[in-house]
A and B are shown apart, each in its own frame.
Chain A
């Protein structure tokens, strides 16, 4: 009866002290926070996060992270439930401690670490990053709390040897983080962190239809930059040569050679391990053609033209720095060259539109 009254009283205190944070000044991660009155409040957690990241972090590096934290009493302990969101990717961390005092710090450290992970690579965060491995993270975070408890002189008799080992590691984590931040601050090149990352794709396998008379197959590479969810890439593709016979004149036709370049700008949205990205495309095709057939001579002339289009890419994250890319695209040609051989007339003409598929690996540095 006494414990029920205590729980009810604590719940009431939790209800009364519920604060939904709206103002996020100076904190790069949006945080909503609920906690009993005797626990750290939103302002303290944000301040801790600000301390960990540095005051200017929000100005130079906005985050796509959002979180809702809630501390609630569970019997004689306290439980922190931290729901973390990164675009449409979600994760939840649950940490229990004998005292709620340090759970605010745990939340701040967790978010600070995720913030750093978000900006240490242009590869998007995954659900695993947000929630961690369910069993390990639970133990680790619990150990973190316990370690903080110990640092503050509190006793937790339930900790075993393994917990203590983990606790030492976890306790060092915030300290290591702060040291890392100090080192970062002392490095002028990194104190103003840029969010541009170098990205390249190799190999890229491509096929398209609509440029040459028959489907084309090519291989190439791409290089460019990623900035947050944006990706700007320039690619070059070398296409297999193509022999084509023009209809009824057997033996008459052309041999086509082709190289192409493409500029693409894509904006990605993360769905778990998959990123979907619509793109705008500007491509340049350079085609050489040599007329073939008895009596035909050719200087193998070249012609180039621009196409504009749009595409859609799916990226399957294979880790923090590698993704498998599958994309489809459609383009409209700004010119439709006609390839003509004197003795048989028109051999081929570039189509008004082309459709392509690309498969490749993207690497982010």
Chain B
């Protein structure tokens, strides 16, 4: 056999061999678990969601003392998209414990997708519960009306879901920030009670009580530092079985565009 033929055969063999190796490389993607969540600390009762994979049990809380593990252990998760970021911080001084979470978004109007960074609890939500968190807004900003702090959606899964309720920040006539609630089921913005502006540079508590009902006997109550900012009675609050609760920072247009809000002491509880 001539050398040329041998060389040609060798060259012909190299191509399929390379393809086989490339295929193997793509097919073989072992997962190496390099970090796991330790048992929840006494401060964070993050295991509250472990009782049932489907049901979101109460009480549950996380103050980020074990980082993002409070969500992880409760089968939740955190995410950041479109220029947003999440950081576990010790400054400003957390409301409780040693850590809080900084949720930073880039509210740039030229960006097609809305910058968002949030943590999510999901499952079958309690029939009636208070969903709360401590927020720290370090500086005033001007939003286009959709600077979201809490978001509820429902459906059969995340892919098959629709929004239910938003609790957001909006600018009052004097530029101060105030709460704004949006009912996706009716497409309305209920009028809020005057509980004063959102404090800047200090922790405040935001809570919403939802009595879930697909009929007109549900309830929604929003509290700012314990003061009732909104109370709606006898309405459809949730027409789904499964749901998600988003906590964090979400914005389309903000001035200044870079916005960080700090969050601590996230809770789901049965009553006051």
Contacts and interface: CB of A to CB of B under 8 A. Distances in A.
A298 interface: yes
Contacts of B33: 301, 340-342
Interface string B154-170: 00000000000000000
B86 A248 contact: yes
Nearest to B82: A248
Contact of B32 (A249, A297, A301, A342): A301
Given A293-B35, A294-B99, A295-B68, A337 B86 contact: no
Contact of B85 (A250, A254, A294, A347): A250
Contact of A336 (B28, B37, B85): B28
Interface string B78-89: 101100111110
B239 to A, nearest CB: 31
B207 interface: no
A295 B37 contact: yes
Given A249-B86, A343-B71, A296 B32 contact: no
Interface stretch (A54-62, A110-118, A133-141, A284-292): A284-292
A289 B26 CA distance: 21
B22 interface: yes
A336 B66 CA distance: 30
B9 interface: no
B72 A343 contact: yes
Nearest to A346: B31
A337 B30 contact: yes
Interface residues of B, number: 37
Interface residues of A, number: 38
Interface string B47-85: 000000000000000001111110110000110110011
B35 A291 contact: yes
A338 B31 contact: yes
Contact of A294 (B31, B32, B34, B88): B88
A330 B197 CA distance: 61
Interface string A140-179: 0000000000000000000000000000000000000000
A308 B64 CA distance: 44
Nearest to A348: B34
B86 A296 contact: no
B117 interface: yes
A342 B35 contact: yes
Contact of A338 (B25, B29, B71, B77): B29
A295 B86 contact: no
Given A250-B87, A332-B21, A341-B35, A293 B67 contact: yes
Contacts of A297: 35-38
B34 A334 contact: no
A303 B25 contact: no
A343 B74 CA distance: 11
Which of B72, B84, B117 counts the most A-chain CB atoms under 10 A from its CB? B72
A25 to B, nearest CB: 23
Contacts of B31: 337-338, 340
Contacts of B25: 332-336, 352
A78 interface: no
Contact of A343 (B37, B80, B84, B85): B37
A343 B69 contact: yes
A299 B86 CA distance: 25
A352 to B, nearest CB: 5
A254 B35 contact: yes
A203 interface: no
B67 to A, nearest CB: 3
Given A343-B69, A343-B71, A296 B36 contact: yes
Contacts of B85: 248-250
A252 interface: yes
Interface string B165-187: 00000000000000000000000
Contact of B67 (A290, A295, A300): A295
B11 interface: no
Contacts of A301: 32-34
A363 B45 CA distance: 63
B12 interface: no
A251 B80 CA distance: 14
Nearest to B84: A248
Given A294-B67, A332-B25, A352-B25, A338 B32 contact: yes
Contacts of B68: 249, 252, 293-295, 343-344
A248 B80 contact: yes
A332 B26 CA distance: 10
A161 B37 CA distance: 91
A249 B117 CA distance: 10
A248 B102 CA distance: 11
B18 interface: yes
Contact of B37 (A247, A342, A347): A342
B6 interface: no
Contacts of B32: 289, 301, 303, 337-340
Nearest to B67: A295
A332 B22 contact: yes
5 contacts: A250-B102, A294-B66, A295-B88, A339-B34, A343-B72
Given A293-B67, A294-B99, 5 more contacts: A251-B88, A334-B21, A335-B29, A341-B34, A343-B35
Interface of A: 247-252, 254, 289-298, 300-301, 303, 308, 332-345, 347, 349, 352
Interface of B: 18, 21-22, 24-26, 28-38, 64-69, 71-72, 77-78, 80-81, 84-88, 99, 102, 117
